[in-house]
Structure 1
Amino acid sequence: MGTFAVIYTYGTDTDTERDAIRPQHKDFLADLHATGRLRISGPIDSGAGALLVLEGESAAEITSALDEDPFRKHDLIADRSVREWTIVFGGLR
């Protein structure tokens, strides 16, 4: 099992729609967290994006899981980067 850092960059002028969809987005993330896949997440760049850290077998698996995010389904994410992350110091456990 690997650790993956995911960066979302939200589309411009999507604040109002993100506010409307946010409860569904948060429920989706809460479900991933409850299963242990999502370790941490939160907004970055003054809310222009988000950082998510997940555990999974591959970047493809993480990408597939995040395709179900309501923000993604409503085209509110302009860019998404999924990168395997090797933790050298500290930890998430």
Structure 2
Amino acid sequence: MTVFAVEYTYVDATSDTRDTHRASHREWLKGLVDTGVVLETGPYPDGSGALLIFQADDADALTAILADDPFHAVDAITATRITEWKPLFGPLSG
């Protein structure tokens, strides 16, 4: 499995949409944590976005997973940046 850092960018204009759909977004994430697909996730304190660490077979598989995010379905994410990441030290370095 490959590890990916996914960065979501948000804008103030989608704040109400995110608030409305946050519970389903977090439920989706929790399901992926439970299956080992999501390793870590959390929002930036300033509300500008979030960092999510995923495991997936490849970038195409990850893109398919991200398409199921409830935030994606309601256009609450302004931009998504996907970067393959190779943890060197720490609990994710395996």
Gaps of 5+ in 2: none
Q: Percent identity over the alignment?
A: 39
Aligned position for 1:58? 58
Gaps of 5+ in 1: none
* 1:23-77 deviation line (CA, Å, top 9, x unaligned): 0000100111110000000002512100000101101111110111010100011
Aligned position for 1:34? 34
Partner AA of 1:58 in structure 2: D
Q: How many residues align?
A: 93
- TM-score normalised to the size of structure 1? 0.93
Return the offset for 1:10. Answer: 1.3
Partner AA of 1:87 in structure 2: P
Q: Any runs of at least 4 consecutive aligned residues in structure 1 with deviations exceeding 4 A, and if so which?
A: none
Secondary structure, in 3 states, of the residue corresponding to 2:91? coil
